[in-house]
Chains A and B, each alone.
Chain A
Amino acid sequence: MAGEPLGMLSACATGEAIGSGELDGAECLAFWAERAGDETLNAYLWTGPDDGGQRIAGAPVAVKDIFCTEGLPTTAGSRILDGYAPPFDATAVTRLRAAGLPVLGKTNMDEFAMGSSNENSAYGPVLNPWDRTRVPGGSSGGSAAAVAAGAAPWALGTDTGGSIRQPAALCGIVGLKPTYGAVSRFGMIAFASSLDQCGTFGHSVADAAELLSVVEGLDPRDSTSTGIPGGLSRPTASDLEGITVGVPRNFLEVGVEQGVADRFAEALKTVERLGGTIRDIELPHAELGISAYYVIAPAEASTNLSRYDGVRYGLRVPADDLVEMYERTRGEGFGPEVKRRIMLGTYALSSGYYDQYYGTAQKVRTLIVRDFEAAFSEVDLIATPTTPGVAFELGAKTSDPWSMYLNDLFTVPMSLAGIPAISIPAGLAAPPEGGPQLPVGLQLAAPAFAEQALIESAHALEAAIGFDERPEGGGDS
């Protein structure tokens, strides 16, 4: 570790070096603050740093701008919250501060976490550090790009249908979404409350797990929070002896790019080389996940976003009449994708359609939950590619909402079931139309609260895959 450049030191090792006195916390923070301030990918909406005047015990954290930070700008990527500085911290942020981890900055994101490309941010898209003409994924694209580009050691994000795992895959880093309830949602701006979950990004499984162990836990301010029973310890596994990994072949048949399929097949061979067993499984209803998700998530969003009314915070567009003030404020403050989802959700919940859409989607959600329960009676983990393809070009999918939504085909079912899942880099592949080598993600999912087993296997696989590529130039160019 000694002599290694600070930017290449893992976040875990940085914390250890500060703890042992080998590294000065303030110097470390200054180093990362400069990196964050210099990045040119539009990954940050605000850079501080903000150490809260407290002791520095570890590497600073890039925080998705969906988390409320006391006195610091918090926009959720929306114009309707432009200039908002919350009077309180989200519980996840409180936990960072209590652990001596400063907030390095607030990262760019799709507006209210609705998107898979970061093109829905009111503050401009984030660029992918591997190829600046491509998207970083979303909605936590700023967090993923910042870590991938070396502009943050690690980061917090949120995942509602894939918003951590998908950008982690497209940026070539690790993204970990824990079980629903593992991390408090207090102060995490709500999108779809039955799905939203805080998770972490890092260059390694150990870093992502370490940051999760800081923020997870029961919170009296979120009655749906549970924490992770038993907590998390640093993963040490070096093989997959006795582990059975299920592969839902039928689900993976449609629309996977060849390069992604190749890296996935190699990863499965690596599982076997490490002593694990591959077993074909069925998830018969998983392919309906996107359809169910695009009823449930917009329905919940349409109610959650009713709070943006120009009264208590954020934008107000003046009008003589109260209802007109609401309508004009919301019409001007929300971007196109947010409006689309509010409309879709309001329609799905409206009189005459409630049972047809919302009721049916929730029943299909039950079928998906049962699919996973059946699968996990036979296997320990489930593996899929994280995304059907590598990072696509900016603008490539903006005109067709459904093609954009399909990015989350393989990540949405786990969100609907509330189970933990991780994306780790599986190598590089070129897009089908040709072009640069871009990261491919491998997704592993586990039963609810089996985070420790998940990170052990992911850690063993990560070491065997040995992905150590970083984008050229990264945030420095």
Chain B
Amino acid sequence: MIDRDQVVHVARLARLELGEDEVGALAEELSSILDHVDRLLAVDTDGVEPTTHVVPLENVLRDDVPGEELTPEQALAPAPSVEDGAFLVPSPKTEG
């Protein structure tokens, strides 16, 4: 039901590098899982509202007052690469 091309497409959407063997395995596994999940499609859900959240809360607000939070140094400390108080990343330019 899910072929290798779809796996490669979805992996690109998810920014996930997969090996050739992983692509094949995932095509099989995802198809098998979706076979089970497809039972949902047989349920009569006409007129049923979706549940996105189980606790009936809305608009939990607070005053916009600055509190004691992390310093820039603390926030940057776990980063793999930093420069001049910012996260350093490779160029976003892509070829082709």
Measured CB to CB, the residues of A under 8 A from B are 84-88, 179-181, 194, 220, 223-224, 226, 285, 288, 290-292, 294-295, 302, 306, 309-316, 318-328, 330-332, 334, 336, 339-340, 342-344, 346-347, 350, 356-357, 359-367, 369, 401-402, 416-418, 448
Contact = CB atoms under 8 A, between A and B. Distances in A.
Contacts of A224: 53, 55, 57, 60
A363 B49 contact: yes
Contacts of B43: 285, 288, 360, 363-364, 367
Given A362-B51, A362-B52, A402 B90 contact: no
A116 to B, nearest CB: 15
Interface in B3-31: 6-7, 10-11, 13-19, 22, 26, 29-30
B42 to A, nearest CB: 10
A322 B15 contact: no
Contacts of B50: 359, 362-363, 365-366
Given A312-B87, A321-B90, A340-B30, A330 B15 contact: yes
Most buried by A among B7, B34, B90: B90
A179 B53 CA distance: 12
Contact of A367 (B13, B39, B48, B53): B48
A87 B78 contact: yes
Contacts of A87: 70, 74-75, 77-78
B51 A357 contact: no
B35 to A, nearest CB: 9
B30 A226 contact: no
Nearest to A305: B14
A297 B36 CA distance: 15
Given A311-B87, A364-B45, A417-B54, A346 B10 contact: yes
A356 B22 contact: no
Given A330-B16, A340-B26, A346-B14, A86 B78 contact: yes
30 contacts: A87-B70, A194-B53, A194-B54, A223-B60, A224-B60, A288-B43, A291-B36, A311-B87, A314-B78, A314-B80, A316-B80, A319-B90, A321-B91, A322-B91, A323-B15, A323-B92, A325-B90, A339-B16, A340-B26, A340-B30, A342-B14, A343-B11, A344-B33, A344-B34, A350-B10, A350-B13, A364-B40, A366-B48, A369-B54, A418-B54
Contacts of A295: 37, 40
Contacts of A318: 90
A448 B30 CA distance: 34
Contacts of A220: 62
A187 to B, nearest CB: 12
Nearest to B61: A223
A402 B36 contact: yes
Contact of A328 (B17, B30, B95): B17
Contacts of B30: 340, 343-344, 347
Contacts, number: 173
Contacts of B51: 362-363, 365-366, 369, 416
A309 B15 CA distance: 9
B18 A339 contact: yes
A134 to B, nearest CB: 24
A322 B37 contact: no
Given A295-B37, A361-B40, A402 B14 contact: no
B26 A326 contact: no
Contacts of A310: 80
Nearest to B50: A362
Contacts of B54: 180, 194, 369, 416-418, 448
A458 B71 CA distance: 46
A254 to B, nearest CB: 13
Most buried by B among A334, A346, A416: A346
A401 B33 CA distance: 8
A339 B19 CA distance: 12
Nearest to B36: A402
Most buried by B among A88, A319, A344: A344
A168 B36 CA distance: 27
Nearest to A358: B50
Contacts of B49: 363, 366
B31 to A, nearest CB: 11
Interface in B60-87: 60, 62, 70, 74-75, 77-81, 87
Nearest to A222: B60
B36 to A, nearest CB: 5
B15 A401 contact: no
Name the 3 nearest CB pairs between A and B, nearest first.
A331-B17, A418-B54, A362-B50
